[in-house]
């Protein structure tokens, strides 16, 4: 049962989803897929975003679309990759914008766990994918589940929702824009970053909104991976 891997705060908030037919079908689908195919991220990492950012600590939500489908890349946080894995193109562009926005020193790693620990929930709309087959788990039920996640976060006060690209912007209907801050722009992928992502300054906007809500701002600066792993261990 994949639902049993969710941490307590999210288990309670999303309990009603687990009994719905779509979720039972999703669990069966994932179980069958893993029997004969390589599925990313590994089962133990599917809900790592939720483990790192409990519901009560969520101040920012960044929404991606589909997990990375290359070996050792996806580990349950949108845009993030495991230590030692080459930084993917979209994240390269995120780093470039951070440098231009806040003077960010670009690290040698795409491991974004320190952001998650500061209250940024980084989820994809779809939480699993078949190796080397993008969007292979689209329309299998994950979107319904993550819509429920967004709706639960919407029930909180003063959250910042970061919607990059047309797919993410479609989730605006789930968000009460009178109570929350929404930051929208083009997606950071190489196909669209120059059409509105570069120069959008989302990171300073996030911190400005956090300050206005009297919440702690995010320290985006990441150390090089050798230093991160020393701190982790």
Query: Is the bond into 39 cis (omega within 30 degrees of 0)?
Result: no
Structure tokens at 34: 């893993």
Q: CB of 110 within 8 A of CB of 51? A: no
Among all residues, which ones are annotated catalytic?
A: 66
Structure tokens at 48: 């790592």
Phi, psi dihedral angles at 140 (to 5 degrees): -105, 0
Question: Distance between CA 78 and CA 74 in Å, rounded?
Answer: 8
Give the helix ranges, DSSP H, for 43-141: 48-52, 89-102, 113-116
């Amino acid at each position: 049962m994949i639902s049993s891997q969710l941490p307590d705060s999210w288990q309670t908030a999303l309990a009603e989803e687990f009994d719905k037919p779509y979720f039972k079908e999703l669990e069966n689908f994932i179980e069958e897929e893993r029997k004969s195919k390589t599925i990313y991220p590994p089962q133990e990492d599917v809900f790592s975003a939720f483990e790192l950012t409990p519901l009560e600590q969520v101040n920012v939500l960044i929404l991606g679309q589909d997990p990375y489908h290359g070996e050792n890349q996806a580990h349950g946080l949108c845009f993030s990759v495991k230590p030692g894995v080459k930084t993917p193109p979209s994240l390269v562009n995120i780093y470039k914008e951070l440098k231009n926005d806040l003077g960010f020193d670009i690290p040698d790693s795409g491991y974004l766990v320190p952001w998650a620990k500061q209250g940024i929930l980084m989820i994809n709309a779809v939480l699993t994918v078949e190796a080397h087959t993008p969007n292979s788990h689209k329309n299998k039920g994950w979107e319904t589940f993550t819509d429920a996640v967004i709706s639960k976060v919407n029930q909180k006060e003063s959250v910042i929702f970061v919607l990059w690209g047309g797919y993410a912007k479609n989730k605006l209907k789930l968000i009460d824009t009178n109570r929350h801050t929404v930051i929208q722009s083009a997606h950071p992928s190489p196909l669209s970053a120059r059409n509105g992502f570069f120069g959008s300054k989302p990171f300073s906007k996030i911190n400005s909104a956090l300050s206005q809500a009297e919440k702690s701002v995010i320290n985006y600066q990441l150390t090089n991976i050798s230093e991160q792993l020393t701190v982790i261990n």
